[in-house]
Amino acid sequence: MCAEEVVVPDEVGCCGWAGDRGFTHPELNASALKPLKRQLPDGVESGYSTSRTCEIGLSLHSGVSYKSIVYLVDEATHEKVNKKN
């Protein structure tokens, strides 16, 4: 209901932000997300996460705008409700 295709990069298990440590130790995030960009297929338009700090790191290291999964669910359910009316 929320997506036609979901991509979960095999080599990225964690964003490496470590709570708020990514603000003061950006090398944690850079190291954890080093394989991210090459694992995303061409044409990826958006990404979603469940953590704001993960969204920051994922966006920074992928070139794709990541935002809260709540926005995706809202968009998917809002469109369904409007189609019924």
| 39-65 pLDDT tens trace | 999 999 889 999 999 999 999 999 999
Whether 1 shows a pLDDT value over 80: the answer reads no
Comparing 19 with 80, the larger pLDDT belongs to: 19
pLDDT in tens, 14-25: 889 988 899 999
* Prediction pTM value: 0.81
Phi-psi region of 18 (alpha: psi -120 to 50; beta: other; left: phi over 0): left
pLDDT of residue 80 exceeding 70:
no
> How far apart (Å, rounded) are the C-alpha atoms in residues 81 and 9?
32
